[in-house]
Structure formats: C-alpha cells, structure tokens
Amino acid sequence: MSSTFGTALRVQIFGQSHSPAIGCVIEGLPSGFHLDLQELQRFMDRRAPGRNAWSTPRKEADAPSIVSGLNERGQTCGTPLAAIIQNTNVRSGDYDEMRRVPRPGHADFAAWEKWRDVHDIRGGGHFSARLTAPLCVAGGIALQVLSQRGVRIAAHVSQVEHVTDEPFCALENTQASQQALNRQIDVLRAGQDKGAFPTIDPVAGDRMKQAIEQARQGRDSVGGAVECVATGLPAGVGGPRYDGIQGSVARIVFGIPAVKGIEFGAGFAVAQMRGSQNNDAYELRNNKPCPRTNNAGGSLGGISSGAPVLFRMAVKPTPSIGLAQDSVDLVSGKPATLQVRGRHDPCVAARAVPIAEAAMALALLDLWLAFPPARSR
C-alpha cells in the first residue's frame, strides 16, 4: 500500500498536515530492544522547523507519543509499535485558494486528478513535509537498533545552488579513508548538538546559508543535494533484483517530498568511466576480503559489499514561493495567477538531512532482517 514501506520491518505512515494527529505503526522490530526515548526526541528535534534562521519560523511540536509496542520496562515486546504526534499550531485559513488554483510544483493538481474535491488539501494534506515527522520516528528507532549493531549513519547538505560541501570520504575503502570518514561523521554529530548548518566544512555551510537568505529575500527558494552514508553494515545484506540495497533505499527516498534523483557510489559519473577505473578491486585486510575502492557505493547485485553504503539525492527548490506564478482555476476553467502566502522553508535541503538518515536506516534494517547475510542466519 502506498503509505507503507518495508518487508520484514513494515512502517505504515498516517496523517494529514491538519488532521488531529499524524503517526506511524512499525511492525517487525526485533523484540527486547530498549528504546531510548530521549535520544529519539533529540533526533526528532533535528527535523523540526522553527529552530533556526534558515528555515520556516513555523514551530511544530514534534513530540511523538509511543502508544503501543513497548512493555512496561520500555523494551520492544514483539507487537506493532505505534507512535502518535498531535497536530497543533494549525492555520487552515491559509490554504483556501488552493482548492481551486493548484500551486505549481506541488501535488495539488495531481491530487485533484486522483481524488477530486475530497482530497484534504489543508496544509498539503498527506503530501505535506509534515509527514516526514512520523518517518523520522520510525527511522530514529531504526537508527538506534542499527547503532547497537555497529552501524553509523550520517548525512550532510552536499550542495545548495552553486555551493558544494566537502564530500564524504566513501568512494575509497582504505583504512585511511575509513578513518577520515569517521572524523567527518564526528564533525557532523558535534555540529548537530550546537544546531549548526549540517555541512562538513563550516565555510561551505556559511555560503549555503547566504544563498538561502538571498533566495528568501527574493521571495524565491533554492534547491540542493544531500549525501548520506552508512558504515559498519556487514557484507551480504539485501536480496537480488527488487529488494536490493539500491532499489530499496531509492523507493523510500523518493517518498521524501522534493527528491528528484538518487545515485549510489560513483553514481552518474560511471557513464563516463571505463570498467578498469570503475571496478572495485578486492584486497585482504585483517585476513578479510574487502573492496579497496567503493565506486559501487556499497552495493553489488543489490547486496551489501561491506564497504560504506553511499547515496546522494537531489532536492528541488521548495515549490511554495512568494513570487507570482501562472496557474489555472480548476472550477471556473480560467487562467489564474497565484502568490503563495504563509511560512515556508526557502530551502528544504537542511531539514532533509535527518530525513535521509531515517530513510537509509529503515531501508537497511528492513533488508538486514528480511535478507540477512550467511553468517547471521
């Protein structure tokens, strides 16, 4: 079903931007896991808007309440875990015009073609970026389970308009590159605690904030890209064909609003490469075979290779902009001009960082549980 993801770990997302609540149900979590609710809240806080200068001033109380799935000691007890987030701070009045005049770049028109006037358009309904909050609840839990199993997942804004951040050291898989990658992740984690813009290089972060500020002042928005990496995943996770690492990560990532592309490892650059450049040779390290380079981005034939899983995703500029745009009136059938009011992020790339981590965590944990390596069976 359309709002459900996963095979062995199944996540069902529910809610609309202005319904009484949003939430998720997660079935298939390993039982006996002690969930750290404070850590989960810290993760949620990274996604929530209204906490810094470069995002929308709209504040959302993203405090998930776990209503089932834990026993009296706070451990997962083998039954579906449900989490609810109340919707507050809702201003439905802003959205009246949308019913008739679809906003360019939003799902309004597509939703009208699907559901006509029964679509709940208030705040974007089920399409709202607000629905990434329950995704982050589920993903935040998956991150904790994976962390206990030795997997680290981190993301950063790799691009905003023409500004790029230092990339992850993950196309190599030498001991030196692994250490460098871990340092990059440490830098990002340290920045998170201080509420820094999520780049590895703080200078790039400052220039990105300037680009975002310029767009905002022009009543416009800007696009960006997010790079995400997972280290510590054993080789042998995932299945061939349609439950592979790439396909599974891609399916959940394209469920994040605004994403228009995804690439793994060397990505689109492979189109220009020779096989002799792109193939990742194997070598022995501590008597264990491992790929020396990682152009494959950690996935071969859909199955993890033991090297870091690496993807980049393109995030389009927020479609809600203050500039006048051409549209049509669906009821009168006449041309119309639209100026989106309300409080909107001029760039969603920064908020997409924890969402990318959540998506990666859910896809990888699901595959690990559903299609494990030989050693763990």
Nearer CB in complex with a copy of itself: 87/184: 87
Nearer CB in complex with a copy of itself: 51/292: 292
Distance CA 81, CA 79 (A): 6
Give me 69's structure tokens. 């799935």
Residues 86 and 20 sit within 8 Å (Cβ to Cβ): yes
**In the complex, what is the shortest distance from the CB of residue 186 to a copy of itself, in angstroms, rounded to a whole number?**
26
**Cα 7 to chain center, whole Å?**
19
Q: What is the DSSP pairing of strand 21-27 with strand 81-86? A: antiparallel
**Cα 99 to chain center, whole Å?**
28
3-state secondary structure of 170: coil
Distance CA 377, CA 145 (A): 18
Backbone torsion region of residue 289, taken as left when φ is above 0, otherwise alpha when ψ lies between -120 and 50, otherwise beta: beta
Nearer CB in complex with a copy of itself: 48/300: 300
**In the complex, what is the shortest distance from the CB of residue 190 to a copy of itself, in angstroms, rounded to a whole number?**
26
Q: What is the DSSP pairing of strand 224-231 with strand 309-315? A: antiparallel
User: For the chain, how far is it from start to end, CA to CA, in angstroms?
Assistant: 29
**In the complex, what is the shortest distance from the CB of residue 48 to a copy of itself, in angstroms, rounded to a whole number?**
19
Beta-carbon contacts of 2 under 8 Å, excluding residues fewer than 6 positions away, are: none
**In the complex, what is the shortest distance from the CB of residue 198 to a copy of itself, in angstroms, rounded to a whole number?**
15
Nearer CB in complex with a copy of itself: 111/181: 111
Nearer CB in complex with a copy of itself: 143/266: 266
**In the complex, what is the shortest distance from the CB of residue 276 to a copy of itself, in angstroms, rounded to a whole number?**
5
Residues 106 and 124 sit within 8 Å (Cβ to Cβ): yes
Nearer CB in complex with a copy of itself: 154/347: 347
Beta-carbon contacts of 212 under 8 Å, excluding residues fewer than 6 positions away, are: 54, 160, 222, 346, 347
**In the complex, what is the shortest distance from the CB of residue 170 to a copy of itself, in angstroms, rounded to a whole number?**
14
Residues 75 and 230 sit within 8 Å (Cβ to Cβ): no
**In the complex, what is the shortest distance from the CB of residue 183 to a copy of itself, in angstroms, rounded to a whole number?**
25
**In the complex, what is the shortest distance from the CB of residue 353 to a copy of itself, in angstroms, rounded to a whole number?**
14
Nearer CB in complex with a copy of itself: 43/127: 127
Q: CA-CA-CA-CA torsion for 244, 316, 54, 358, nearest 10 degrees? A: -10
Nearer CB in complex with a copy of itself: 70/200: 70
Give me 252's structure tokens. 């959940």
